[in-house]
Amino acid sequence: MTKPKYTQIKRIAFSPTGGTSHAVDVLCKQLGLPVEEIPCMKPSQRAGDSLIQIDRDALLIVGMPVYAGRLPNLLLPYLKRLVGDNTHAICVVTYGNRHYDDALMELKMLLESQNFEVIGAGAIVAEHSFSEKIAPGHPDAADEHMICALAKGILNRSDSITLNIPGEWPLRPYYSPKGSGGVSFDFKKIKPVTDDGCTSCGLCAAICPMDAIDFSDYKTIIGKCIKCGACVKKCPVKSKQFVDENFNTHKRELEDQCGLIKTSEVYF
């Protein structure tokens, strides 16, 4: 295989709390190519049904967080609009120290079905979206070292290699959390609650990747909440929290079980 000469990186990163964006940025810097961002953080940026063509002279990098062991389901229609021309791609997923399950394989298979050749992939540990106690400060220097190894491996490749990404086929269902009494609960209905300390700064509504928070009343959730943690973690006065008993039981369980930091994994 003749090693392609990329003119630029096309960067896509869905990153409500910043971990995925950080991992992708480290990778882009190590690859040393001009970067063009394809924004996807707001519904208006993901709207429409027209295809997003990525030519073969570009290297596509797609970064996604892992939600319940899979790709965020509400991002799938957007991702399925990407179309390559035997275009090389790198898949990056970040996960909150439990496991990435089938998410990395899912992203690889999705891109390959749309005429991309996936030449590298990484599952990178990041602080959990639910908790500041699970993998705090990640991706850290150790994770960045693995990302740099991924970049080096890609730059030194001289022929095509089949990547063996862990996962199961058919893809497993989304991980089902257990609440009080060890019983599964309807995770989708849970929404953050805003207390009286809210200063109405509007940051939560501005950063919500689903535009789910009412701009005229920041306590009101008017759209689908994906539990990404952005509004909770970035509120300057800590006025937003998830107070649902089942949610917090699950959160405490994760904090108890995911204390030992896992090693980020890369494939090239």
Res 1: pLDDT: 43
Res 3: pLDDT: 57
The fraction of the chain above a pLDDT of 70, given in percent, is 99
d(CA 213, CA 223): 7
d(CA 16, CA 11): 16
The answer to whether residue 160 scores a pLDDT higher than 90 is no
Residues 205-239 have pLDDT tens digits of 999 999 999 999 999 999 999 999 999 999 999 99
Domain span at 207: 180-254
Q: Are residues 93 and 224 in the same domain?
A: no
Whether 3 is in a domain gets the answer no
Whether 84 is in a domain gets the answer yes
Q: Are residues 131 and 190 in the same domain?
A: no
Residues 94-103 have pLDDT tens digits of 999 999 999 9
C-beta contacts of 193-196 below 8 A and 24+ residues apart = 193/219, 193/240, 193/241, 193/242, 193/243, 194/218, 194/219, 194/239, 194/240, 195/239, 195/240, 195/241, 196/239
Q: Are residues 100 and 186 in the same domain?
A: no
pLDDT, mean of residues 44-58: 97
Q: Are residues 90 and 162 in the same domain?
A: yes
Contacts of residue 233, defined as CB under 8 A and 6 or more positions apart, other chains included, come to: 17, 129, 132
The answer to whether residue 180 scores a pLDDT higher than 60 is yes
Q: Are residues 142 and 196 in the same domain?
A: no
Res 234: pLDDT: 98
The answer to whether residue 55 scores a pLDDT higher than 70 is yes
Whether 15 is in a domain gets the answer yes
Q: Are residues 26 and 104 in the same domain?
A: yes
Q: pTM for the complete prediction?
A: 0.96
pLDDT tier for residue 47 given thresholds of 50, 70 and 90 = very high
Q: How far apart, in Å, are the Cα atoms of 184 and each of 14, 99, 122, 179?
A: 28, 19, 30, 6
- 15: its two tokens: 């990153």
Whether 155 is in a domain gets the answer yes
Whether 2 is in a domain gets the answer no
Q: Are residues 86 and 198 in the same domain?
A: no
Residues 20-39 have pLDDT tens digits of 999 999 999 999 999 999 99
CATH number of the domain encompassing residue 160: 3.40.50.360
Res 157: pLDDT: 83
- Judged by DSSP in three states, 122 sits in strand
Q: Are residues 132 and 66 in the same domain?
A: yes
Q: Are residues 190 and 163 in the same domain?
A: no
Whether 167 is in a domain gets the answer yes
Q: Are residues 123 and 219 in the same domain?
A: no
Cβ neighbours around 19 below 10 Å, total? 25
Total of domains in the chain: 2
Q: Are residues 42 and 140 in the same domain?
A: yes
Whether 250 is in a domain gets the answer yes
The answer to whether residue 178 scores a pLDDT higher than 90 is no
CATH number of the domain encompassing residue 188: 3.30.70.20
pLDDT tier for residue 159 given thresholds of 50, 70 and 90 = confident
The residue count for the chain: 268
Q: Are residues 125 and 189 in the same domain?
A: no
Whether 1 is in a domain gets the answer no
pLDDT tier for residue 116 given thresholds of 50, 70 and 90 = very high
